Structure 1
Amino acid sequence: MSLPGEKALMKLSDLVSDGIGGIFAPNQIKRISKAEVDAERDKMLMIAQTEQQVADIKAGKLQYTEDRRLISVSSEPNVEQLINIKKGDKVEPYLNLENLDKQSKTRKQIQAIQEEVNLTKTVFLAEKELESGKYEANDDPVDPDWFTRWRDNAEKVSNNYLQTLWAKVLAGEVTTPGTYSLRTLDLLKSLSKNEAELISKLGEFIIDGRVIKGVKGLRGLGNDSETVEKIMTEKGLHFSNLLYLQEIGIISGVDSMGLTVEYSSLDPSSFVRAFTSKSSGLVAIHADPNKNIVFNALHSTRLGREIFNLADFDTDKEYLKAIAQEVANIGFDVQIGGWLQLNETRGKLLNPEAILPNNSK
């Protein structure tokens, strides 16, 4: 019986075996004849120990030699300063080139070790992501140039939250090459933790790849729902932040008069339409198959959709209910609940809750 994500894990192992070396080469950590939990513990202990050693090198407690050995440094003050002052009447500062060279080498050594730690932690996180079993790998190989770009970027990332994003990118690309573009890698490279969290917040308001801001025409000239705007503002998604997310290529339509999207029925006998958002869903039904629903919305770009796939978030339930209320107010029977995707074209609403028009008692 195969393990969850086994095929994807094999693809990952083949990919990183030639691309990552040094003290954390994948084959140096064996799972053979060890319990899974022991192997995981050994990996994390190795990383933690190395990070502590990097801190000791920075503090001057350890020295990393050219033959790749760590040696203790005496605590006695026997190292000269980089800038020495000559004795005598005339004070002339000068650089001690020997000590400058030593410190330069130490900085490079620290950077190299830290990059290796960063890369290894991120690969381990990708491994854990694949072990979840929610990825189904195909047989297509990962583009070597793509992996080189990923590796060169991931090794510079020390923040745990951002390492998780880079791990999910690798997991997704290993299972289905072409999932994440080089543009996505370039955006992630420059993304701060605060920016990533802002994108995650916006992800809570994504329905069918769009930020739906209200039913068009429901309030005459005003297309946006005041309720939706209030909910988004309380989450920090005010106009200036939305405009910034547009500037970096995540969404479009923020500074326009409003983009719209129209939905018609997929059933010739009546109007039936499901709107999905992560693990939540909204189903609208009407007896007239010629009815349609027009939303005022912000559209997510391809880059935005790739980034949204990385973030862990749940749909904002208050927001989903507000949109459902608006759809009910124009005469549709509406239910919301959890959503289970059965295949590419069919899904099922779980624990449905009926949403009545505002004037219903």
Structure 2
Amino acid sequence: MEINIIPGEKLTIKLWETLTEKGIGSLLRPWQMRREGRAAIDIRCEEIVRLAQAERDAEAITRGEYRLENGSGPKLIPCNEIGTESGTRPASPLASDATLAEIAQQVNVADTIRREVNVAKAILHAEAELESDPQEPPAEKIDDDWLFRWRDNASQVSSEELQSLWGRLLAGELKQPGSFSLRTLEFIRHLSQEDARKIEKIAPFVVNESIIVRLDDDVLTAQEISFSFLLELQEMGILSSVDSIGVQTDYRSASPDKFLKALVSFKKMLLVENDDKDKILSIAVNAVTNVGRQIMQLGKFSANEAYLRSAGAKIKDMGYEVMLADCISVPPNVRYYNGVKL
């Protein structure tokens, strides 16, 4: 009998094997064990509802409305009001040492719940990222130090947008261990939503995952990519050489027969050609740092076509034939289609 494997199922199984082995995602594990034979969307809804309830429970504990007790099993019970018997009041507004210890314990419980909820939500985002990916799981495992650092960092994020980012980070590392450095984890830990928006703004102008082409600054300025904005990205650690003069990249041919070079920006590309195979294409650029390149892998960006057309026109003026085309990555190559000569 032929067994149909759902796209992404192997990667999802690999994800849960990796997390379970290290005791990560404990809030989700009981539901994960009940997944077989149930619709994925039903399970996802149940998980989200339960995580939302866990968040509300943590907030109630923090406000002092409930406390967690462990008798025959952990459960939430309403906190008794102080000084309600016979209309009496506490003798002192200061809590006793025992009360302070209990308050500290309950605050710690609430904080632990919040952290576990944050990790669980990031894991759900990772699972969603993997569930339609047919890639075979790699033989390599995620480094333990990396995984525990990921857990600690993801536990501190309550923003849905940033939880999604941490989820994509875990999914990417699972698919190819070593893709994201500990330095990148540290960078993302300090990433604010404003910083994320700056990266989203510059991403459509990145070519070959490594450069910002500076052939026509008027196009960049029209898109609010000013020199001061580029300097901000340099200070963040995303770009380099912004304040340097005369920085350029020299491209040699990728073909032995003629000059041929692809300048790729997500799903668009410029195909540059010339009959002289020894010709060198020199382009003024700002470089994207290693951290910047890794961060760019996490987003769902698209190229700025007006920017590519302008860059292509400038390259054409240098004596090259230039084609703008759609493309798809088929490692180690890039396939293009719908090409239009500029």
Whether these two folds match at TM > 0.5 is yes
Distance apart, 1:28 and its partner CA: 4.9
The residue number in structure 2 matching 1:187 is 187
Match of 1:230 among 197, 214, 221: 221
Deviation for aligned residue 1:322: 1.6
Q: Could you tell me how far apart the structure 1 residues matched to 2:329 and 2:198 are?
A: 27
TM-score (norm 2): 0.88
Match of 1:115 in 2: 115
- 3-state SS of the aligned residue for 2:115? helix
Q: Deviations over 1:250-282 (max 9, x none)?
A: 221011113210112222332222111111111
For residue 101 of structure 1, what is the aligned residue in structure 2? 101
SS at match of 1:313: coil
Shift of 1:307: 1.0
CA distance in 2, matches of 1:25, 1:117: 12
Does the 8 Å contact 1:337/1:352 carry over to 2? yes
Q: Which residue of 2 aligns with 1:255?
A: 243
Q: Give the Cα separation in 1 of the matches to 2:65 and 2:78.
A: 6
For normalisation by structure 1, the TM-score amounts to 0.83
Please state whether the residue corresponding to 1:71 is helix, strand or coil: strand
The SS at the match of 1:338 is strand
1:23-172 correspondence runs (5 A): 23-25=27-29, 28-67=32-71, 68-73=74-79, 78=84, 94=94, 96-133=96-133, 135-172=135-172
Instruction: Give the partner amino acid of 1:70.
Output: L
1:293 equivalent to 2:281? Answer yes
Mapped partners of 1:257, 1:155: distance in 2: 42
Q: How many residues align?
A: 332
Inter-CA distance 306–21: structure 2 relative to 1 (3 Å threshold): closer
Secondary structure, counterpart of 2:214 in structure 1: strand
Unaligned runs of at least 5 residues, structure 1? 87-92, 216-224, 356-361
User: Which of the residues 324, 339, 342 maps onto 1:352?
Assistant: 339
Deviations 1:18-74 (A, max 9, x none): 322644325655212212221122111211222222233334443222452112346
**Kept in 1: contact 2:234–2:240 (CA 8 A):** yes
C-alpha distance in structure 2 between counterparts of 1:21 and 1:277, whole Å: 36
Q: Residue 317 in 1 paired to residue 305 in 2?
A: yes
1:254-293 equivalent positions in 2, closer than 5 A: 254-293=242-281
- Please tell me whether the aligned partners of residues 270 and 285 of structure 1 are also in contact (alpha carbons under 8 angstroms): yes
C-alpha displacement at 1:151, in angstroms? 1.0
Shift of 1:78: 4.8
Do the aligned partners of residues 178 and 110 (structure 1) sit closer, same or farther apart at CA in structure 2, a change above 3 Å counting?
same
TM-align CA RMSD: 2.5
Q: Would you say the 8 A contact 1:17–1:27 is kept in 2?
A: no
| Higher deviation after alignment, 35-44 or 155-164 | 35-44
CA distance in 2, matches of 1:313, 1:77: 59
Distance 1:193 1:70 in 2: 34
Checking the alignment, whether the CA contact within 8 Å between 2:25 and 2:120 is kept in structure 1 is no
Q: Tell me if structure 1 keeps the 8 A contact 2:262–2:270.
A: yes
Q: Residue 8 of structure 1 corresponds to which residue in structure 2?
A: 11
Shift of 1:287: 2.8
Label 1:231 to 1:95 Cα distance change in 2 as closer, same or farther (>3 A).
Answer: same
Structure 2 runs not aligned, ≥5 long: none
Q: Is the 8 A contact 2:214 2:286 kept in 1?
A: no
SS at match of 1:349: strand
In the alignment, what sits opposite 1:218?
none
